[in-house]
A and B are shown apart, each in its own frame.
Chain A
Amino acid sequence: MSTIDLRTVTIKPLRHTFTHVAERIGGDKPATRYQEGTFDIQATHNFHYRPTWDPDHEIFDRARTAIVMKDWYAFRDPRQFYYGTYTAARARQQETAESNFAFVESRGLVSALPEAVRHLALELLLPLRHLEWGGNMNNAQICDYGYGTAISQPHIYKAMDHLGIAQYLTRVGLLLADETALDAAKQQWIADPKWQGLRKYVEDSFVLKDWFELFVAHNLVLDGLLYPLVYERIVDDDITMKGGSAIAMLTLFMTEWYGETAKWVDATIKTAAAESPANAQQLSQWTREYLQRGVRAIQPIARHALGANAEAVLGDIEDQFKSRVAKLGLAL
C-alpha cells in the first residue's frame, strides 16, 4: 500500500451526497455537514411498537403538537449546529468565560465590589440556577417529543446550555460567597414570594403536553423576557453602573449565548408561523398568553432589583418583545 500514491488519482464520484439530502438541496451536489448530519435522520414510519409511556402515539409522532407542518425539515438552525460545530462554538465561549473568571479572581475584583452590588448579584442570580435547571428539563422534553431532527437536535444542545449556565451561576455564587449562599438561594426560590411567580411559571410548563407550546412558553417567552431583564438591564446596565462590572464579566457567557440562541428561536417561530395561518394563530395565542403570565412572573424580581425604574424597564422589555415577535409573523 505504501508504494501507491493514492492522492494522484482523480476519480469521478458516483454521487456527491446521500439521496435524501440531494432531494432536499435541489439535486446531487456537495452538501454541508450540517445537512448530512441532520436531514431525515429521525425515523418516521414503520415503527414496531407503541410506547408504553404514551400508547396513543408512535415513538415519533406529528400529533404531539397542534402545530402542523407539511415538512418538519423546513426548520433550519441559522447557526448550522451539528455536534461538531456546537461543541466548537461552546468551547470558544467557555474559554472566554474561563479567562473572565480567572481575571476577576486574580485581580481580587470580588472584594472590590460594593457590598450592595455583591448582595444584589447573589440574590438575583443564584435562584436562577433552579430556573436554568427547569430550562434543561424543558428542552430535554422538546428534544424527546419534537418531530424531525432539524427541530429536535438544537434542543439537546439548548438543554445542556441551560445546565452549563446553571453551573456558571453556581460558580458565581461560590466566587462571591460560599456554599451556604447556594442553600439560601434555593430557599428563596422555594419560599420567597418574589420568586414564586417564576417558579409557578416553570412548574406549570413542566406538565405541558404540547411540545411546541412548551417551546413558546420557555424558549420564546420566558428566555425572551428574563435574559433581557436580568443580564442586559440589571447586570449590564444597572449593576455595572453601580460598580459591578466584574459581575457583567462573569455573566458574559449568558449575554452572548442569549443573543446567539434567540436568532435560532426566531428562525424557528418564523418558519412555523409562515407555514399556515392556523399555525400563526396558534403561536400568537400561546405567545399572548405566556407573555402576560411571564411579565407578571418577572415583575417582583424587576422591582426588587430596579426599584422605581422597574415599570419603565419592564415596559421597554415588553415592547421590544412585542416588536420582535411581530417581525416573526405573530399578531399579539
Chain B
Amino acid sequence: MDMPVAKKKLGLKERYALMTRGLDWQTTYQPMDKVFPFAKYEGIKIHDWDKWEDPFRLTMDAYWKYQAEKEKKLYAIIDAFAQNNGHLGVTDARYVNTLKLFLNGISPLEYMAHRGFAHVGRAFPGVGTRVACLMQSLDEIRHSQTQIHSMSNYNKYYNGMHSFPKMLQRVWYMSVPRSFFDDAVTAGPFEFMIAVGFSFEYVLTNLLFVPFVSGAAYNGDMGAMTFGFSAQSDEARHMTLGLEVIKFVLEQDPDNLPIVQRWIDKWTWRGYRVLTLVAMMMDYMLPKRVMSWKEAWEVYFEQNGGALFKDLARYGIRPPKWLDQIEFDKDHISHQAWSTLYQYGGASNFHTWMPSDEEMDWLSAKYPNTFDKFYRPRFEHWRDEQKKGNRFYNMTLPMLCQTCQIPMIFTEPGDPTQTCYRESTHKGMKYHFCSDGCKEIFDHEPEKYKQSWLPVHQIYQGNCFNPGVDPTAEGFKPLPVVLDYYGVGFGRDNLDFEGSEDQKNFAAWRGAATTNV
C-alpha cells in the first residue's frame, strides 16, 4: 500500500504553486502560437513564463470567502446610507458633481479594465500571469458595479447621472478618459499591462482614488467613501501585479527595455493628461478641499514615484519623459481645466460655478505664484459678468488635441500666457497636439491615432444627432440636438450650479430635515 500516512505539511508558497502551476501544458493538437496568437507580436521576448513570481497567493476558495465578506459589509453600508437619506449629509450639493464625474467617467472604465484584463489573461501563455490578470478582471467588474450601486441612490435625487453609459460614449469631454482606455485595450497584451497594470494602477492610481475617496470622506459622503475603502485591498493586489509585470518583462530579455521604456513614457503622459479632470475636481469641485492638486502631485508622484523609478533604475529604466513640463504645469492645469468646463458648461452633464472669495483665497494660498496673476482676474471678470446676467457660455466648439482629446487648453512649457500648439503631417493631412508628449505619441503610431473619434469633428461631420434630425433644415440649431444625442437634459443636467434643480432640491430637502423634527 503506497498510501502516505503522515504527509509533510506544505508551505503556503509551495501549496499555492501546486494549486496553479502545472495546470497548463504544451499543446500538440494545435500549435502553441495558434492557441496564444497575441503573445509575440509586440516584440516582447519571454523565455520562461515560470520565472513569474506570483505577487499574491490567493486560491479561489479564499478569494470567494474574503470578497464575499467585504461585499456584505459594503452593501450593508450602502443600504443604510440610502435608507437614512445619507446624501443630505454632504457638505453642499455642489459636491455631488464630483460623483457625476466619477460615475460617468470612471465607473464604465473600471468595466473596460475588467474586459481588458480578461483579454490579456487569456492571451498570456503563463499560468501565474493569467491567474493574476483574471483575478484582476474579476475585481474590476466588482469596482464598476459597487460604484454604480453606491451612486444609484444619488441618481434618484440628483441630475447628471441617469445615462452614464451613453454619456461616456458621447459627451465631448468623456472622450478623454474613454480614449485612454480604448487605447490601452486595443494595444497588445504587454502594452496593456504597462498602460493599465503599471502606469495607471501603480504610478497614478493614488492620484485618482485618494482625491475621490478622501474627498468623499471630507464632504460627508459615507457611501462613496465606503466603496473606495472597500476597493483598497483589491488595489493593493493590483499595484503588486503592476510592479511584478514590469520586473518580470525586464528580467526576461534586455531587448525588452526600450519597448517598455517607451510605453512608460507614453502611458505616464496619457494618464497624466486624464488626471487633468481630477486636478480640477480637487481644486474646484470639492466644497471641502482635501489638498491641492499640486500638493497631491508632489506627494504621490514626485515623492512616491521618485522612489519607484530609483528602484527601477537597476533595470535600466529612467523616469518618464516630459516630467519637467508636468512640474511646471502643476501650477496651472487645474485652473485651465475648470475654466474650460465652466465656459462649456452648456454642453456637459454637471454643474459648474465660479469659486467664492474664500475659495479664491484658498487657491491663492495654494498657488501663490500663479493664481492671482493669471486666473483670479479671469474668474473675477466672469463672476462680475454673471452678476450682470451675462454668464459666459462659450458656444463655439474648441480645437482638440488629436491624442489626449482635451481641448487645446494647455500652455507652452514655461509660458502660461501662450497656448501650446504642435502639429504633424501624416499622409498629407495635418494633425494637432497640445504638447510634445501628445505629438510624440502620435508620431510613433499615426495609424492608430488618426482614427480618434474627436467629438468636435464628429459633430461637424453630422454624427452626433439622433436619427431623424435634419441638419439642413431651416433655422437648425446644433446645440439642442447634440445635447439630445448626449442624453443631457438642457437646464437640468447642465449649466451653472446657481439656480440649478440640484441646488434648489438640496436646500429644500435639507430645510425639511432641519425644521420638521
Contact = CB atoms under 8 A, between A and B. Distances in A.
User: Within the complex, are A and B direct neighbours (CB within 8 Å)?
Assistant: yes
Interface of A: 1, 3-9, 11, 13-20, 33, 36-37, 40-53, 59-60, 82-84, 87-88, 90-91, 93-95, 97-98, 110-111, 115, 118, 129-130, 132-133, 136-137, 140-141, 143-144, 149, 152-153, 155-157, 159-161, 163-164, 166-168, 170-171, 174, 177-179, 182-183, 186, 189-190, 199-200, 203-204, 206-207
B186 A49 contact: yes
Interface residues of B, number: 106
Contact of A6 (B89, B112, B161): B89
B513 A87 contact: no
A164 B60 contact: yes
Interface stretch (B262-270, B409-417, B447-455): B447-455
A144 B119 contact: yes
Given A18-B161, A110-B3, A203-B30, 12 more contacts: A37-B149, A49-B183, A90-B64, A140-B130, A149-B111, A164-B60, A164-B64, A167-B20, A167-B60, A167-B61, A199-B29, A206-B27
User: Which of B23, B63, B119, B449 has most A Cβ within 10 Å?
Assistant: B23
B135 A160 contact: yes
Nearest to A171: B19
A140 B516 contact: no
B210 interface: no
Contact of B185 (A59, A91, A163, A206): A59
Contacts, number: 270
Nearest to B509: A11
B124 to A, nearest CB: 10
A14 B131 CA distance: 43
Contacts of B123: 53
B453 A48 contact: yes
Nearest to A133: B23
Contacts of B24: 130, 133
Given A19-B163, A43-B169, A167-B61, A13 B157 contact: yes
A50 B516 CA distance: 57
Nearest to A140: B122
Interface string B219-242: 010000000000000000000000
B157 A14 contact: yes
B64 to A, nearest CB: 4
A20 to B, nearest CB: 6
* List of 5 A-B pairs having minimum Cβ-Cβ separation, nearest first: A164-B60, A91-B68, A37-B145, A13-B156, A133-B23
B35 interface: yes
A182 B111 contact: no
B317 interface: no
A160 B88 CA distance: 40
Contacts of B131: 163
B363 to A, nearest CB: 26
B115 A144 contact: yes
Nearest to B451: A49
A41 B23 contact: no
Nearest to B180: A48
Nearest to B84: A7
Nearest to A129: B23
